[in-house]
Amino acid sequence: MQARPGRLRWTPHDDGTPTEHGFVTLLAQEQGFLAVWLDGRHTAGGHDHGDGGAMTLRSVDIDAGGRPAGAGHEIDARVCDCCQTDAATTGEGLVVVYRDRSPEEIRDVAVVRRTTSGWSEPQAVHADGWHMPACPVNGPAIDAQGSEVAVAWFTAPDQPRVRLAFSSDAGRSFSPPVEVAAGRVAGRVDVALLGDGRAAVSWLEETPGGAEIRVQPFTRSGIAGRAVTVTRSSANRSSGFPQMIRAGDRLLFAWTDAAEPLRLRTATADLR
């Protein structure tokens, strides 16, 4: 965390190990914010090979002055090593999504909730059963409004897929997933709940002419609205992870233009 000049500079993880700590999500709260990240303090600098342990998911509350507000928490003791995390606020508390990792190398997307009772046990958003012996670097996205929650993610149990699932009980349970896209999809998803109960999903799709950032709204029953190509992009790592947020009755996008020199670009789309 980079503090302003003259303010406190502080690192959320306090283990002091020379290991990976990253893929951070920051979520604003009434008094400060929550930080959630992948924490490698048990890995001995590796990725659960040799003498190292597993990557974990940890959190800490940070007050408005940039200081820790209480002790940190280990949310999940074994997670995928380098898929980004995401979080949202529901009417009942916080919901965090991330890619889990079983001892059998099943890397499905999981959700945890934090209410007045504390952190819940992790549960799968959907049992994709994706066996993957390495990290795909392709995490999930979440959005919430009241008790309504939408999660989008990339998976490839048989072929590459982008999926979407809804919850109407603040993330306790999720509907069977909607198939957003399959085949030549690279994932890198985002999701935004619209004002009419639909959810817009963005993803990166590979085409003969190059990769494209696409967005499409879906209902809970899987009825798809008009698909929009936001822009041409690249499937290279340097193109990063496109971001999307609802801004009134439009969607605002931001992405990295991988052409040299690298640039950050934005666009809006109307999906009414």
Using CA atoms, how far apart are residues 55 and 46, in angstroms rounded to an integer? 9
Residue 101: which of 138, 137, 132 has the closest Cα?
Answer: 132
Using CA atoms, how far apart are residues 72 and 21, in angstroms rounded to an integer? 14
Q: What is the pLDDT of residue 22?
A: 86
Using CA atoms, how far apart are residues 24 and 113, in angstroms rounded to an integer? 17
Q: What is the pLDDT of residue 7?
A: 55
Q: What is the pLDDT of residue 8?
A: 54
Which pLDDT tens digit goes with each residue over 82-134? 999 999 999 999 999 999 999 999 999 999 999 888 999 999 999 999 999 99
DSSP per-residue letters across 53-106: ---EEEEEEE-TTSSB-S--EEEESSB-SSPPPEEEEETTEEEEEEEB--TT-B
Say if CB 216 and CB 229 are below 8 A apart: no
E-strand stretches of the chain: 21-29, 32-39, 56-62, 73-76, 86-90, 93-99, 109-115, 118-119, 123-124, 141-145, 148-155, 161-167, 178-182, 185-193, 199-207, 210-218, 228-233, 243-247, 250-257, 263-269
Burial class (CB in 10 A: 0-12, 13-18, 19+), 3: exposed
Residues of the chain short of pLDDT 50, as ranges, are 1-5, 48-51
Domain-by-domain residue ranges, the chain? 80-269
Using CA atoms, how far apart are residues 48 and 77, in angstroms rounded to an integer? 12
Q: What is the pLDDT of residue 30?
A: 84
Fold of 80-269: Neuraminidase (2.120.10)
Say if CB 53 and CB 101 are below 8 A apart: no
Q: What is the pLDDT of residue 157?
A: 97
Which pLDDT tens digit goes with each residue over 2-25? 444 455 567 778 778 888 888 999
pTM for the predicted model, two decimal places: 0.91
Q: Which amino acid is at 150?
A: A
Q: What is the pLDDT of residue 1?
A: 41
Peptide bond into 122 cis (omega under 30): no
Residues forming a β-bridge with 151? 142, 165
Block residue for tokens 């690192």 = 11
Residues forming a β-bridge with 88? 95
